[in-house]
Homo-oligomer: A and B are copies of this chain.
Amino acid sequence: MSDDRPSLAIVGGTGALGSGLATRWAAAGYPVILGSRSAEKAEAAAREIAAANGAPAVRGLDNAAAAQAGDIVVVAVPFSNHDAVLDEIETAVAGKIVIDATVPLIPPKVATVQLPPHGSVAQATQRRLGDGVRVVSAFQNVAAHKLREGTAIDCDVLVCGNAKEARDAVIALIEAIGLRGIDAGPIANSVAAEALTSILIGINRRYKADGAGLRITGLAGS
């Protein structure tokens, strides 16, 4: 058992991004709890991921119970469900790090940036959950299907949050699944990562690319 690894609750864990992250973290030896509106659906998805990874510690619960059970909670839900899901997990995440991976895509124009009027999703999450919760935004720009497939991903993960130790903890989780996390500063900066997703979707169409990503250049050793 990975005693010093935090357990990771993934709210929206049956979706494309959530199950991709769960697959990678499970393979890396982290205890993973999938959350879903339906506990049965979460259990079924957890069994599938556990089987595919040689039975590591993956289980499924409803979103609130998953958030309660995890040391760190990841929110990986469609934008349209975001506020309702925060209602479900608000009590359970007190004092924890919450990784918000939500992108404000509004169909049908998902290749056009349509930010919430008050700024970014992650900023709104931080405001909503209060200073007792350390909200960190990440994973908006990674192609979900590549996470699930386990192929190499040519994309950095921008990591924003107001607490440096929380950003560092999330960067460690990102490195554990073979990606590079970049410390991108305070939660106000999440707007760049959230907006970039629409640009990448448009680039995929315009350039006929399969999962365009981004890399930060100019760092020592990169």
Residues of A within 8 A of B (CB): 111-115, 119, 154-155, 158, 182-186, 188-189, 191-192, 195-196, 198-200, 202-204, 206-220
Question: Given A112-B185, A213-B218, 17 more contacts at CB 8 Å?
Answer: A112-B189, A113-B189, A114-B188, A115-B191, A155-B217, A158-B199, A184-B199, A184-B203, A192-B196, A195-B195, A200-B216, A209-B219, A209-B220, A211-B218, A213-B216, A214-B215, A215-B217
Report the minimal beta-carbon distance from A110 to chain B, rounded to whole angstroms. Answer: 11
State whether A189 touches B185 (Cβ < 8 A): no
Residues of B within 8 A of A185 (CB): 111-112, 198-199, 202, 206
Residues of B within 8 A of A188 (CB): 112-114
With contact pairs A113-B191, A192-B113 given, residues A214 and B214 touching in the complex (Cβ less than 8 Å): yes
Would you give 20 A-B contacts (Cβ < 8 Å), ordered by A? Answer: A112-B185, A112-B186, A113-B188, A113-B191, A154-B218, A158-B199, A183-B206, A184-B199, A184-B203, A185-B198, A189-B195, A189-B198, A191-B191, A207-B219, A210-B218, A212-B217, A212-B219, A214-B214, A214-B216, A215-B215
Docked pose: A112 CA to B111 CA in angstroms: 25
State whether B191 touches A203 (Cβ < 8 A): no
Residues of B within 8 A of A113 (CB): 188-189, 191-192
Docked pose: A18 CA to B218 CA in angstroms: 22
Most chain B CB within 10 A, of A111, A113, A119, A186, is at: A113
Docked pose: A219 CA to B211 CA in angstroms: 9
Residues of B within 8 A of A154 (CB): 217-218
Residues of B within 8 A of A196 (CB): 192, 196
Report the minimal beta-carbon distance from A189 to chain B, rounded to whole angstroms. Answer: 5
Docked pose: A85 CA to B191 CA in angstroms: 27
Docked pose: A206 CA to B159 CA in angstroms: 13
Docked pose: A111 CA to B183 CA in angstroms: 12
